[in-house]
């Protein structure tokens, strides 16, 4: 296990596997705003390689994204990092994997305005009756509401009191379109085991090792890793 992931047990009691399973299999089916029903829930990967689509912040800003990918790779999970403007391309990649028989869970990650890319990709999949098993967000901007075809939404955020007027430079609250979406919100300052969040900001939080460990553990739990 990633050494930094062990910090979770010290400062944050997150029953990750239990919450993800509740979201994927224990809640009602996804409610879509179309006549197409959501495809059955994906099962843990067996024959295919798990993959995560990651969306950067404004203008492609996301320091530390390569480290995110390294951490995911260490769990046997490949990933693609894109700008929000390429959400339609990420959606097409997912649909192509599904057409090729890949039934791995669909996981999308986003930082800041990358939450908009996550939202657009989710909505694109909804048009094809495909559910998103999990979205994992860090300080999302301009994201809500969570599309109705999302089963589980994890949001990690650091309150930015001085940026309360600026929705780009702070994480935003999350509303959902469907009661079938399970949402977990984590205030990083309140759960920080080492007290380092006071020295972090919206512009540097993506490089924090502890924060990265939390997000990667969430993704790994969806794939049963």
Query: What are the pLDDT digits (tens) for 78-135?
Result: 999 999 999 999 999 999 999 999 989 999 999 998 999 999 999 999 999 999 999 9
Q: State the helix-helix crossing angle for 114-126 and 87-99, rounded to 10 degrees.
A: 40
Q: Is 179 exposed, middle or buried (0-12, 13-18, 19+ CB in 10 A)?
A: exposed
Closest CA to 187 of 201, 176, 171: 171
- CA atoms 7, 200, 145, 51: torsion sign: negative
User: What are phi and psi for residue 135, nearest 5 degrees?
Assistant: -120, 140
User: What sign does the dihedral 115-46-76-191 (CA atoms) show?
Assistant: positive
| Mean pLDDT lowest among 8-12, 150-154, 156-160, 172-176 | 8-12
In this prediction, residue 97 carries a pLDDT of 94
What is the pLDDT at residue 163?
46
| pTM (2 d.p.) | 0.81
* pLDDT over threshold 50, residue 150: yes
CA angle 12, 13, 14 (to 5 degrees): 95
CA distances from 123 to 86, 145, 192 (A): 14, 11, 33
Class of domain 3-222: alpha beta
**Which residue reads 């380092």 in tokens?**
196
Among 105, 131, 122, which residue's Cα sits nearest to residue 48? 105
């Amino acid at each position: 296990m990633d050494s930094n992931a062990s910090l979770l047990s010290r400062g944050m009691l997150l029953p990750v596997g239990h919450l993800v399973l509740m979201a994927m299999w224990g809640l009602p089916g996804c409610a879509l705003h179309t006549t197409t029903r959501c495809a059955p829930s994906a099962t843990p990967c067996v024959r295919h390689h798990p993959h995560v689509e990651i969306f950067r912040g404004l203008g492609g800003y996301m320091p530390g994204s390569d480290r995110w990918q390294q951490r995911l790779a260490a769990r046997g999970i490949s990933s693609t990092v894109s700008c929000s403007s390429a959400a339609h391309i990420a959606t097409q990649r997912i649909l192509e994997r599904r057409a090729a028989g890949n039934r791995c869970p669909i996981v999308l990650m986003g930082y800041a305005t990358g939450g908009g890319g996550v939202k657009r990709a989710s909505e694109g999949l909804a048009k094809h009756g495909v559910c998103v098993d999990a979205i994992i967000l860090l300080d999302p901007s301009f994201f809500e509401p969570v599309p109705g075809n999302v089963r589980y939404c994890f949001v990690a955020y650091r309150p930015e009191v001085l940026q309360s007027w600026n929705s780009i430079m702070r994480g935003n609250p999350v509303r959902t379109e469907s009661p079938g979406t399970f949402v977990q919100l984590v205030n990083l300052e309140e759960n920080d085991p080492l007290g380092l969040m006071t020295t972090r900001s919206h512009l540097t939080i993506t490089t924090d090792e502890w924060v990265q460990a939390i997000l990667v553990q969430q993704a790994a739990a969806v794939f049963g890793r």
